[in-house]
Structure 1
Amino acid sequence: MRSLITFPCAGETLIGSLDMAAGATGLLIVSGGNEIRCGAHRGMALLAAAMTARGHPVFRYDRRGIGDSSGDNHGYLSARGDLVAAAEAFRAAAPQLATIVAYGNCDAASLLALHGREAGVDRLILANPWTIEDFDDLPPVAAIRATYRQRLTSPRAWARLLSGRIDLGKALRGLHKASTAPPQTLARRIVGAIENWGDAATIILASADATAQAFAAAAPHLPAHRIDTASHSFARETDQRQLQALVAGLLEDQ
Structure 2
Amino acid sequence: MFGIKKMPFVWVFVFCLVVKCLFLFTHHIQEDAFISWRVAQNLLEYGVLGYNGNVPISASTTHLYVFLSAIFQAIFGFERFVYPLLLFNIFCFTLGSYYFLRVFQAKEEPSFAWIFLLFNLSPPGIKASILGMEYGLVMLLYGLLLYFGLVKKEKKALFIIPFLLLWLRLDMAIFLVFSFFAWIYGHRSFPVYMVLGGILGLATVLGFNYMYFGEVINHTISAKKVAYQDLVLYPGWKRFNFMLKKEFGFLWGCMLCLKPFCM
TM-score by length of 2: 0.26
The answer to which structure has the higher strand fraction is 1
Of Structure 1 and Structure 2, the greater helix share is in 2
Using CA pairs below 8 Å that are at least 6 residues apart, which structure has the higher relative contact order? 2
